Amino acid sequence: MAVYAVMFMGMTPLGSLGAGWIAKRIGVPTTVGIGGAVCVLAGLGFGLRLPSLRAGARELIRGAAAASNELAQAGEGDPTAR
């Protein structure tokens, strides 16, 4: 059950534990502010990397489409061709 919880919720349980520990040390408002700043920085970092991620995704999609077309032309992709 614990493995399922970690897969389903990600690292939220550990993050909550860390946030609680930090909040106890420096206060809740400061901890929430730091968490918000980390989220903004992560969003900006993702936004900066998005063009290169899109290019890589397009390349993967083209490769998958080409492989699918090759299988279809060989008759292996169409189950009714057998």
pLDDT digits (tens, 9 = 90+) for 6-59: 677 777 778 889 999 999 999 999 999 999 999 999 999 999 999 888 988 899
Considering the entire predicted model, what is its pTM?
0.58
pLDDT of the residue at 77 = 53
Q: Which of the pair, 67 or 13, is modelled with greater confidence?
A: 67
Please say whether the beta carbons of 24 and 32 come within 8 A.
no
How far apart are the C-alpha atoms of 60 and 9, rounded to whole Å? 28
Sign of CA dihedral 9, 14, 15, 16: positive
Cα 60 to the center of its chain, rounded Å: 17
Whose tokens are 């989220």? That residue is 39
